[in-house]
């Protein structure tokens, strides 16, 4: 069974997604900038609370 690393390491997973998306935006253009902003806000929330559940809930509440 595959382990869901996001539940164990939410901040690290969000930071990796943020970095990957930033590279994609630089390479392919600004179409994904709104998604980057949402991930950036989730990373900030995860850093502030250091509780993955709140960061995931914050991400889930955002519409893209």
Note the pLDDT tens digit of each residue in 9-61. Answer: 567 777 888 888 888 877 777 777 787 888 888 878 777 765 556 666 677 77
Burial of 46 (0-12, 13-18, 19+ CB in 10 A): buried
The pTM of the whole model exceeds 0.75: no
- Confidence (pLDDT) at 56: 66
């Amino acid at each position: 069974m595959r382990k869901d690393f996001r539940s164990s390491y939410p901040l690290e997973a969000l930071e990796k997604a943020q970095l990957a998306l930033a590279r994609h935006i630089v390479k392919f253009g600004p179409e994904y900038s709104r998604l980057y902003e949402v991930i950036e806000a989730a990373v900030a929330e995860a850093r502030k609370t250091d509780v993955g559940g709140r960061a995931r809930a914050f991400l889930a509440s955002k519409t893209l």
